[in-house]
């Protein structure tokens, strides 16, 4: 029977990053994923400025385009465009990014097994026993990085307190789209309840998607067809259609129990407003690895809440305000100075809208009031 210090289940951004940090610290780590890499994951593939500050390796070799402008549009009508002096998002494809991170985990010293499902998890006071690709493995600590539909959370009695949104996305050739998307991402606001639509240009194609409350599941195809149409593309021309869940935890929801820690989507860390989760995957990976290295597993949930909950509270509030009063919030977002704060939030330079100074304070306070 093979023994490890840590078994990491799932090699998305959260799992591979956790394995990189742990292996660099000298831990014996097994990183296992049921998929054979390179594999894709339904995702816009946008690395926000704040995610770039936390990713454990420089992703430049797999970045296809830098975005420093956003076009924001309300219900396919009125729109405005704002720019920033540094990239707000670096666009990659998850097939490429995740394989790149996996390679770095192996190079750091983690034992990597793809095409290998983890099952039959058993957690007791002495440690973890699991079947990894049919072989019995023992470990001291289990990290659940197995995403929105993972099994680790359930096996540890975790996973309550998570709201599950849904998203559907696909690709079209860049040349098929209207408008200049050279360095611009388009965000279509108030086109479905609890979310938005996006157009993210990549190397030779653009990723189109819609995400919202879980109850929108049956209507996602219609929402995506409307988005494609608004950008001059027939729905039939959208390829690689894939749907996936967006797990968003309520503030303070535990992400650990005994010897089990959850990271990334397995812990429900998707940002409720933006729907992005890679920043949270990288932050939770770092904190989980630190907790394991210093032997303070019980401190992990509190450290995670301290790192993420203030920002997440602001995101939940803005999401409520947008859902209830889209026109007013759109007008407030258009007001002078507000986009500078949004850019600061995206790049991790502003922790919370309440920290904003200057002319943006009034419109931002209005949005906070509308959230109730």
Ligand X SMILES: Cc1cc2nc3c(=O)[nH]c(=O)nc-3n(C[C@H](O)[C@H](O)[C@H](O)COP(=O)(O)OP(=O)(O)OC[C@H]3O[C@@H](n4cnc5c(N)ncnc54)[C@H](O)[C@@H]3O)c2cc1C
Restricted to residues 251-310, the positions that interact with ligand X (CB under 6 A) are: 264-266, 270, 275-278, 281
140 binds ligand X, rule: CB under 6 A: no
Restricted to residues 151-180, the positions that interact with ligand X (CB under 6 A) are: 151, 167, 169
33 binds ligand X, rule: CB under 6 A: yes
In this chain, which of 65, 96, 146, 347 binds ligand X, going by CB under 6 A? Answer: 146
User: How many of the chain's residues bind ligand X (CB under 6 A)?
Assistant: 40
- Give CA–CA dist 209/107, Å, rounded: 34
224 binds ligand X, rule: CB under 6 A: no
Restricted to residues 183-212, the positions that interact with ligand X (CB under 6 A) are: 209, 211
145 binds ligand X, rule: CB under 6 A: yes
105 binds ligand X, rule: CB under 6 A: no
Decide whether 199 or 370 has the Cβ nearer to ligand X: 199
CB 267, min distance to ligand X, A: 8
CB 13, min distance to ligand X, A: 5
CB 259, min distance to ligand X, A: 17
CB 335, min distance to ligand X, A: 26
- Fill in the per-residue mask, 45 to 84: x = in contact with ligand X (CB under 6 A), - = not in contact: xx----x---------------------------------
- Which residues contact ligand X by CB under 6 A? 9-15, 32-35, 41-46, 51, 117-118, 145-147, 150-151, 167, 169, 209, 211, 244, 246, 264-266, 270, 275-278, 281
């Amino acid at each position: 029977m093979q023994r490890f210090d840590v078994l990491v289940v799932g090699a998305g951004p959260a799992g591979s990053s956790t394995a990189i940090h742990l292996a660099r610290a000298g831990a014996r780590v097994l990183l296992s994923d049921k998929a054979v890499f390179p594999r894709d994951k339904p995702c816009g593939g946008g690395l926000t400025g704040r995610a770039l500050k936390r990713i454990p390796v420089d992703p430049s070799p797999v970045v296809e385009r830098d975005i420093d402008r956003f076009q924001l549009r309300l219900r396919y009508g009125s729109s405005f465009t704002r720019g920033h002096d540094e990239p707000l998002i670096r666009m990659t494809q998850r097939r490429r990014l995740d394989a790149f991170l996996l390679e770095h985990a192996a190079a750091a010293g983690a034992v990597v097994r793809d095409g290998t499902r983890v099952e039959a998890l058993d957690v007791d006071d002495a440690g973890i026993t699991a079947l990894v690709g049919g072989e019995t493995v023992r470990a001291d600590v289990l990290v659940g990085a197995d995403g929105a539909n993972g099994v680790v959370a359930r096996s540890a009695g975790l996973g309550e307190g998570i709201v599950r949104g849904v998203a559907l996305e696909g690709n079209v050739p860049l040349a098929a789209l209207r408008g200049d998307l050279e360095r611009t991402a388009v965000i279509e606001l108030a086109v479905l309840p609890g979310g938005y639509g996006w157009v993210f240009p990549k190397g030779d194609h653009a990723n189109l998607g819609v995400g919202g409350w879980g109850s929108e599941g049956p209507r996602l195809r219609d929402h995506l067809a409307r988005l494609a149409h608004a950008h001059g593309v027939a729905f039939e021309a959208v390829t690689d259609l894939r749907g996936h869940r967006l797990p968003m935890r309520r503030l303070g929801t535990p992400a650990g129990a005994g010897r089990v820690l959850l990271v990334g989507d397995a812990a429900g860390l998707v940002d409720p407003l933006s729907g992005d989760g890679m920043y949270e995957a990288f932050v939770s990976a770092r904190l989980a690895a630190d907790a394991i290295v210093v032997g303070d597993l019980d401190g992990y949930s509190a450290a995670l809440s301290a790192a993420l909950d203030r920002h997440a509270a602001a995101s939940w509030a803005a999401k409520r305000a947008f859902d209830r009063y889209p026109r007013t919030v759109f007008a407030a977002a258009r007001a002078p100075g507000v986009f500078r704060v949004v850019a600061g939030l995206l790049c991790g330079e502003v922790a919370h809208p309440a920290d904003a100074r200057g002319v943006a304070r009034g419109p931002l306070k209005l949005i906070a009031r509308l959230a109730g």
